[in-house]
Amino acid sequence: MSAVLEVSSPLRFEVPPELEAGDPAETRWFGRDDVRLMVAYRHDGRLVHSRFYELPRFLVPGDLLVINTSRTLPASLPATLEGETLELHLSTHLPDGRWLVELRRPQDRGSIPFLEARAGQRIRLPASGTARLLAPFDPRDGSSGRPPGTRLWIAEIHLPEDLLSYLGRHGQPIRYGHALRAWPLSSYQTVYAVEPGSAEMPSAGRAFTPELITRLMAEGVGIAPIVLHTGVSSQEEGERPYPEFYRVPATTARLVNAVRAWGGRVVAVGTTVVRALESASNETGVVSAAEDWTDLVVTPERGVRAVDGLLTGWHASKTSHLLLLEAVAGRALVEASYRAALRERNLWHEFGDLHLILP
C-alpha cells in the first residue's frame, strides 16, 4: 500500500494497516518506554531516531515538561436503540450537565459511526440507564458535504447511580478497529493519571514510566501538571476539536512563565497540553491560572505563544491535530517527520511510537 504524502493543508498521507499499533508496547517489547522516538529539531530540520527511554539525553536541566493528569474513563457503554445493538461513547460532560455522545455500530473489530439516529430517540443502557438524544452537534467547519449532526449528539443521560460507579460496572475503554483485542482499562492510563474525566487516554504520555520520570527529575528536568479532559478522538475530515474542560493550576502557570523568562524550554506532553496552555495564555505568552471550557483551535496562522516544544504521537491524515503540529514546528518539518515516520515504519495510534519536536 502506498505511503506517499500529498502536499495539501492539513497534511494528507496514507498509513499502511501494518503500521497501526494494535497492542501495548509492553506486550511487544519489555516496557512502555521501549517505543520508538523521533526527535525533530526546528532550527536545522534534523531528525534523530531513538527510543523513548533515551528521552533524558534530548532534554537539558531547566527544561519543563507539562503533563496532562486526566484519567481515562471506561466511556464505552453497550446500548440498544429500537432493537439494534450499538455502543454509546460518552465524549464530553458539558457545563449544563448534558453530554456530548457518539453512537457506533459494533463490528468484528472495533466499530463504525452510527449515522441513522434522530432527535428525541431514547437509548437503553445497562441497569435501566437511558440516554435521550436532544440535538445533533456539528463540529465541522463547512468543508464537508455530509449533513451536520449525523455522528455526534447532545444528550441527556440518566443513570441509576453516580457516573464513576456506573461506568466501573458497565463501561469499557473506547476501542477502535486497530486494537487487536479488548485491553483492560489500565492499558489506557498514563502512570501519572489522577483525575477521571477523559473519554480517551491523553496518549502522548503513555510511554512514561515511574523510573523514567525519576531519571528526568534527577537530571534537572521539571515536570508540571495541567488537566484537560479529552473527548472522543474519532474525528473526521473537516471536524474541529470539540469544546473541552481544562485547568491550569497557579503553580504550573508560574513555572511556565519562569522557565520561559530565563530562556528555558517548555515542552508540552501532548496536543491536549498545548490546547490548555494556549487557552490560558495572553498575546505575549504569559500563562495565568485558569479553569474553564476551551474551544480554541491552534493553527499555523494563530501560532503558539506558551510552548517551545511538543511530545506527541503520530496523528491521522487530514485532522486538525496536524495543524497544531504545524503551529509548533512549521509545515516543512512536519512533512519531513511524517515522511520519515512512514519510511522508518513507525507505529500509529495510542499504543504507537512518539514524535518529539524541539526548537
pLDDT in tens, 292-345: 999 999 999 999 999 999 999 999 888 888 999 999 999 999 999 999 999 999
How far apart are the C-alpha atoms of 164 and 332, rounded to whole Å? 44
pLDDT at 1 over 70: no
How far apart are the C-alpha atoms of 24 and 36, rounded to whole Å? 13
Q: 160 vs 235, which has greater pLDDT?
A: 160
Average pLDDT over residues 203-226: 98
Q: What is the model's pLDDT at position 10?
A: 66
Q: What is the model's pLDDT at position 161?
A: 97
Residue 214 DSSP code:
H
Q: 352 vs 139, which has greater pLDDT?
A: 352
Q: At what angle do helices 271-279 and 320-329 cross, to 10 degrees?
A: 70
Q: Residue 89's beta-bridge partner residues?
A: 76, 102
Q: 234 vs 23, which has greater pLDDT?
A: 23
pLDDT at 58 over 90: yes
| pTM greater than 0.85 | yes
| Residue 185, C-alpha cell as written in the block | 482499562
Q: What is the model's pLDDT at position 147?
A: 47
Band (110; pLDDT cuts 50, 70, 90): confident
Q: Is the peptide bond before 10 cis (omega within 30 degrees of 0)?
A: yes
Distance of CA 183 to the CA centre of its chain: 18
pLDDT at 177 over 90: no
How far apart are the C-alpha atoms of 287 and 326, rounded to whole Å? 21
pLDDT at 3 over 70: no
Question: How confident is the model over 340-349, as pLDDT tens digits?
Answer: 999 999 999 9
pLDDT at 2 over 70: no
How far apart are the C-alpha atoms of 289 and 317, rounded to whole Å? 34
pLDDT at 141 over 50: no
Residue 269 three-state SS: strand
Q: What value does the mean pLDDT of the chain take?
A: 91
How far apart are the C-alpha atoms of 175 and 256, rounded to whole Å? 34
Band (11; pLDDT cuts 50, 70, 90): confident
How far apart are the C-alpha atoms of 170 and 160, rounded to whole Å? 12
How far apart are the C-alpha atoms of 283 and 288, rounded to whole Å? 12
Q: Is the peptide bond before 113 cis (omega within 30 degrees of 0)?
A: no
| Residue 200, C-alpha cell as written in the block | 480517551
Band (165; pLDDT cuts 50, 70, 90): very high
Residue 305 DSSP code:
S
| Residue 335, C-alpha cell as written in the block | 512533512
Helices (H), the chain: 25-28, 163-170, 210-218, 250-261, 271-279, 320-329, 331-343
How far apart are the C-alpha atoms of 260 and 63, rounded to whole Å? 9
Provide, rounded to the nearest whole percent, the portion of the chain with pLDDT above 70. 92
Average pLDDT over residues 194-209: 97
How far apart are the C-alpha atoms of 167 and 186, rounded to whole Å? 14
pLDDT at 8 over 50: no
- Phi and psi angles of residue 281, each rounded to the nearest 5 degrees, phi first: -105, 155
How many CB atoms within 10 Å of residue 337? 23
| Residue 79, C-alpha cell as written in the block | 446500548
How far apart are the C-alpha atoms of 104 and 87, rounded to whole Å? 5
Nearest Cα neighbor of 101 from 68, 128, 129 is: 129
Q: What is the model's pLDDT at position 241?
A: 79
List of residues 6+ apart from 275 with CB closer than 8 A: 228, 241, 244, 246, 294, 296, 298, 324
Residue 64 three-state SS: strand
pLDDT at 212 over 70: yes
Lowest mean pLDDT among 174-188, 196-210, 219-233: 174-188
Q: Using CA atoms in the order 54, 58, 63, 67, what is the torsion angle rounded to 10 degrees? A: -50
Number of residues assigned to the chain: 359
Band (5; pLDDT cuts 50, 70, 90): very low
Q: What is the model's pLDDT at position 238?
A: 55
Q: What is the model's pLDDT at position 235?
A: 62
Nearest Cα neighbor of 354 from 240, 274, 244, 271 is: 271
Question: How confident is the model over 239-286, as pLDDT tens digits?
Answer: 677 789 999 999 999 999 999 999 999 999 999 999 999 999 999 999
pLDDT at 145 over 90: no
